[in-house]
Structure 1
């Protein structure tokens, strides 16, 4: 009885636990209809309690594993071989972060840093899976990414794709998993920082006017009807969905315009920074402002096994500028309260500097930043120990982070979706909402 779109069918009502309760209730004199009515009322009461705080998410992913010591969690009192060569700077809330982020230090009242993220996957692929799905990797099942789940639960808004990737789908774990392919991310296909940037397939081909486009669309629909009647393959249905959404974009000037950075004035472009970080973050702001529900963007390569000081100094300034301006801009536009900004990476880096003046993979403890969308700004949640080796207090798992994100979006994280073979699978299994970071 579990289905994909009904809050009553999450884990409690008609799921496995619901039928176990029905069996137990028989001995108490309750009929199955009585039990189901009571259970439904309880389920709806709980579901109604989860009100969306965030309308959209901007997920900024830093691939490779950004070092917590050279960013959100410096260790100024540890020995040099642990703390590294970079220093610290005081934030506008009195906390301390690495001096690689001076502009973000002035925005600390707008964000929360979780310094106690932890999991057990030291390989890039497995760590990335954790941080895009909230699940440990499994050989038996492909789990859907955050964007795919949000797209599945809410669908498009204002004719914009619900889930957009800048500039491309960042990895194999940012896909739809066991959900239909139609919930996949819409990829820009090019970097918005490029001078000749243009979103792939968003404009009519040369020589095709509006009337010719309509005729082509009608012909394609007739052909597609035959394909659909002959097969129920997921990729056929997904392709139809992609075409329909592309038509919506082509037919909606306001939606198309959201992808056009030239609509921003030079002052704003310069403020964000005319580089990859700045252009991608500005594009993300435009897209959530126009109606996209979850935008994932990537920036940089943070797998710094050697010369980490040089690597951080090379990549962090553009990130520091772009993210600090994004927070300011969202706030100035009245969008920060309804937009959750999440900055994550697949893991952190080793406590001790290695022989190549870098740091290696370290999943035992690392940091994540959250802002807006119901997050209490100006705080630190959890702590690592004196050398950033492991959590010292309040450890947070990927499942906890995912559950909190979904909670802010108004999605019940343990609702069951249908996987292949009619298997009910919870959106997140075992995660807890991190209550004290909520505003």
Structure 2
């Protein structure tokens, strides 16, 4: 389903004239697609600008993946720290990761493993805001997520939405993953449902029956009648023409063959679909690649279930790690084969790390001073291991990387100047990345 709302994900804490053309659940925020187009045009980057056309796929693992049991194992630590998993070699000399990530081990030379990630936070909700914006939570001001900034800076390509979110596993309690002070117009278009399900389809981009098409045309005709009446009292001819263009473009998006094709996973071969994994995360990775190919510029894949307070090893071994390993490695290899990896930044991280010491429930709890992340493509260096934690994976000892540094690296790769300034609705100036610097090992 195409959605545009600010839902929440449960974790361990517990009629105006424009409404005739609202698309699906956009109405839940009272924001129409023409509104989106109008504001986007007002702030569009002029042709010939200097920003590099890099795109981004961000895999958000809500709940907080265990750094020790994934990319920063400690095989020499006591058993209550090292846990149940063995390690395997990667294509990087001397670098070993969890035995349950053989696909990522095979492509390690094409990615960057950030072992020096210091989340500086151990609370759900607040983490969704901090990690997805690069700004500390502020109760009086919601900061925009990365995709919303891209949407504001760039706008539409090939008539496709600039920012799409697959899945709803983002905690909105502290304004995580939304456009914040940029305004609801730049919120992600959320697509719910499981892309691996045979019944999966995107509502309003799949007008399969004649009756559905007729209903849409009728709504457009009613809108046009109202517009003709209002034109008689409009003063600015330019504004009328611009508004008509926006409505025409919005109608075109809903009925666009490009949009329909992009979301249609049946266009892919059975071999490709199997390669990505027949599960929600794997098929979301495949769908993200298709969206980027079709003109979407930022895709967030929101995957839940990583809050492993109990049965950490069983959950990771049986479900979480196999899905991640298959989907992520397929995505990187596919982008590389298609010549898209250099122009597509692929980022993976979650809320924070997890406690080095296993708890009595065979789980790991929240850990704020150590975590892991992956970054690949987007013009960055590859095959780098950034940072190091101590022998018990408790804290970073070398080359710490903060959430602000991750944000700065993302914007650097996407060609968005870190010192871009915006104004809040009350006119307050806000700098895009006031703290944080691009990771030097990755940007040169």
Alignment of 1:45-60 (within 5 A): 52=52, 55-60=54-59
Relative distance call for 1:240 and 1:417 in structure 2 (3 A) is farther
Distance 1:187 1:435 in 2: 33
Look up the match of 2:5. Answer: none
Look up the match of 1:397. Answer: 402
Alignment of 1:216-365 (within 5 A): 216-221=219-224, 223=226, 246-314=250-318, 315-365=320-370
| 8 A Cα contact 1:60 1:298, kept in partner | yes
Relative distance call for 1:140 and 1:213 in structure 2 (3 A) is closer
Relative distance call for 1:305 and 1:212 in structure 2 (3 A) is closer
| 8 A Cα contact 2:116 2:386, kept in partner | yes
Q: CA deviation at 1:384?
A: 1.1
Scaled by the length of structure 1, what TM-score is found? 0.82
Relative distance call for 1:227 and 1:99 in structure 2 (3 A) is farther
Distance 2:395 2:245 in 1: 45
- CA-atom RMSD, angstroms? 2.7
| 8 A Cα contact 1:249 1:256, kept in partner | no
Look up the match of 1:126. Answer: 126
Distance 2:212 2:331 in 1: 37
Of residues 197-206 and 345-354 in structure 1, the stretch that sits farther from structure 2 once superposed is 197-206
Secondary structure of 1:297 counterpart: strand
| 8 A Cα contact 2:58 2:301, kept in partner | yes
Alignment of 1:142-181 (within 5 A): 142-168=142-168, 170-172=170-172, 173-181=176-184
Q: CA deviation at 1:108?
A: 0.3
Structure 2, unaligned stretches of length 5 or more?
A: 1-41, 235-242
Relative distance call for 1:242 and 1:385 in structure 2 (3 A) is farther
1:382 to 381, 384, 387: 387
Distance 2:189 2:251 in 1: 13
Q: CA deviation at 1:169?
A: 7.2
- How big is each residue's C-alpha offset from its partner over 1:260-283, in whole Å with a ceiling of 9 and x where there is no partner? 000011111111111112111100
Relative distance call for 1:274 and 1:397 in structure 2 (3 A) is same
Distance 1:143 1:250 in 2: 29
Distance 1:152 1:276 in 2: 29
Distance 2:333 2:161 in 1: 25
- How big is each residue's C-alpha offset from its partner over 1:237-284, in whole Å with a ceiling of 9 and x where there is no partner? xx9999766523234212221000000111111111111121111000
Alignment of 1:80-91 (within 5 A): 80-91=79-90
Distance 1:385 1:337 in 2: 33
Q: CA deviation at 1:411?
A: 0.4
1:190 to 173, 190, 193: 193
Relative distance call for 1:241 and 1:108 in structure 2 (3 A) is farther
Aligned length: 387
| 8 A Cα contact 1:337 1:374, kept in partner | yes
| 8 A Cα contact 2:169 2:302, kept in partner | no
Of residues 385-394 and 116-125 in structure 1, the stretch that sits farther from structure 2 once superposed is 116-125
Alignment of 1:366-381 (within 5 A): 366-381=371-386
Distance 2:146 2:417 in 1: 13
Structure number with greater Rg is: 1
Distance 2:366 2:182 in 1: 31
Distance 1:285 1:191 in 2: 16
Secondary structure of 2:182 counterpart: coil
Secondary structure of 1:124 counterpart: coil
